[in-house]
Amino acid sequence: SRSSGFSQFAPRRRVRDMPPKRKRRGSAGGDAVALPRTPGLRSDLECTVCGKPATMSCGGCAGFYYCDRAHQEMHWSDLDHHESCERTKKQVARTQELREDIFSAFDWGRLSTEMIDENVHTRCTLLEKLGVHNANEYRRECPCHAKTPFGKLPPVADTRCPPGEDPAVSWSRGLDEANWQVYKLMTWLRQRDPNSIDDCVRELRKHLPENWNVMMSCRLKALVEQQDGPFKIPEFAPKYPTPITLHSAATIDYAVRRFRRRSSDASPECVIVDVLGAEKEVDQLKQTIIALHWLHYIDLLVAGRPRGVHPDKPQLHLNLIGPEVPFDAYDDSTRIYPVTMQMYNGLYHEVKRTIWDHSHAYARRNFRHSPHRLVFMPNAGIAAFTSWEPTLKMLVNEFGAVVIITDYTEEAANMGLTELKKMVLREKAAARWNFLEVQVNPYRQPVSCKGADNAMPSYANGFIFGMIPSDFTYRDGDEKRDEVQVVDCSSA
């Protein structure tokens, strides 16, 4: 052959000096690796393609499982794993890194991450061990009720709700209980020694790292540990694993602190957060409201609260919107003070006008400035669900709101950011938006959600990305964040 005729004159090259071969689209990347069958450890692994028991994993990234070689090759070629294999390998390599800060923050951190990943514990057995299985705000945190329609459970965590009771009645009673808990917190804040949390404030002014360890040992410490007498809020007692249900509140607080718009004077600003696709967030509303009230109070002290602003002054308003929200609730009787809340049943692009009318009326009653609006889309899966497209199109064209999106895995977040950039490009709005590149959420839920068909690290609210208006001006003293980048959308 032609090659054999010249091979004897060619210099010999070592294998490691050879450039990597370009993998063809139709061939699987690397040999499949047979899975070890250790009794009790991940015997439930499933094929990524068909869901049958898995016998091998991808030899390139070890991130996906297959029942046979044919399905591995199908995933590689037909389902485009050849494009993401290298990225998946890097993501799987971060598994231990993402566990470490949870280990350091919680005594039960190893149970909720490593042991769930290894099938030693399930979510149900974890919650049983922590004493909160099917209890109140925790009841949708395991498969027992995660997908139960809201009509089949009371719309709030109220075990005293009689069967068949009108949801609005039980919701009203639940709000009364939430209002009572917030009242206790406000009373305690008014009566406390002003110096009792000065140490916390001084520490936070040092710009401590953002993670659960700082959140629990500093930012939330007084709420969890230092209440006394009749003002104790039981749900925040140290014996309860409150971070399991507080990750949405902590993420909202984190986003509000990082993306604060500069106002023209020292008067208080109104921040309105639209929570899109709310599901279990409705069930956990009481804890979310109490935590946000406390965190917002601490943030005012850390930032130097403007003179004359009382800690009771409403400055943060939540709108919970989605088809799973049980019913509309936006009259005065459903407001929890001082962090206020309204609920809307429906899709954001369908009810947006009603929401904005109510929100601006609320802001005009309480503030001299128009509200700063932040859109929060928890665990959205915008690359997987085409139902988000009308809402994303509206957000891209409605210039002004900061949009923060979270997803379970880094790969899902990367795919979502790509779809977001494509949407901006299609709508010819590239000059109007900067993008928040994918990053780990320091306040992700500290319980692993890793699936049985892949090895990628997965957490509720695990990874953050989004888009920021190009004319956004940060509050005085805040520096523009490095991860907010001007991105050439044509590369999406």
- Between 26-30, 89-93, 339-343, 433-437, the lowest mean confidence (pLDDT) is in 26-30
Give the confidence band of 409 by pLDDT, cuts at 50, 70, 90. very high
- Between 80-84, 235-239, 388-392, 448-452, the lowest mean confidence (pLDDT) is in 235-239
Instruction: State residue 143's pLDDT score.
Output: 87
Q: What average pLDDT does the segment 317-335 reach?
A: 69
Nearest to 185 by CA among 335, 337, 317: 337
Q: What average pLDDT does the segment 256-283 reach?
A: 76
What's the longest Cα–Cα distance across the chain?
A: 94
Nearest to 218 by CA among 191, 250, 190, 173: 250
Residue 163 has pLDDT above 60, yes or no: no
- Between 27-31, 118-122, 281-285, the lowest mean confidence (pLDDT) is in 27-31
Listed in sequence order, the residues at least 6 apart from 67 whose beta carbon sits closer than 8 Å to its beta carbon are: 47, 49, 50, 52, 53, 54, 55, 56
- Between 143-152, 260-269, 277-286, the lowest mean confidence (pLDDT) is in 260-269
Q: What average pLDDT does the segment 401-425 reach?
A: 94
Instruction: State residue 306's pLDDT score.
Output: 47
Instruction: State residue 343's pLDDT score.
Output: 83
Residue 301 has pLDDT above 50, yes or no: yes
pLDDT tens for 475-490 read 544 544 444 444 444 4
Residue 119 has pLDDT above 90, yes or no: no
pLDDT tens for 196-232 read 566 677 777 777 889 999 888 888 877 777 666 556 6
- Between 40-44, 290-294, 296-300, 341-345, the lowest mean confidence (pLDDT) is in 40-44
Instruction: State residue 271's pLDDT score.
Output: 85
Residue 452 has pLDDT above 70, yes or no: yes
Give the confidence band of 284 by pLDDT, cuts at 50, 70, 90. confident
Residue 235 has pLDDT above 80, yes or no: no
Assess contact for 252 and 292: CB atoms under 8 A.
Answer: yes
The Cα–Cα gap between 369 and 81 comes to: 50
Instruction: State residue 159's pLDDT score.
Output: 44
DSSP string, 170-191: HHHHHHHHHHHHHHHHHHHHHH
Residue 133 has pLDDT above 90, yes or no: no
Is the model more confident about 175 or about 469? 469
Q: Which of 72-76, 357-361, 461-465 has the highest mean pLDDT?
A: 461-465
Supply the mean pLDDT for the chain.
76
Instruction: State residue 120's pLDDT score.
Output: 85
Give the confidence band of 380 by pLDDT, cuts at 50, 70, 90. very high
Instruction: Give the residues across from 466 on adjacent strands.
Output: 404, 436
Residue 337 has pLDDT above 70, yes or no: no
Residue 78 has pLDDT above 50, yes or no: yes
The Cα–Cα gap between 378 and 281 comes to: 9
- Between 36-40, 47-51, 451-455, the lowest mean confidence (pLDDT) is in 36-40
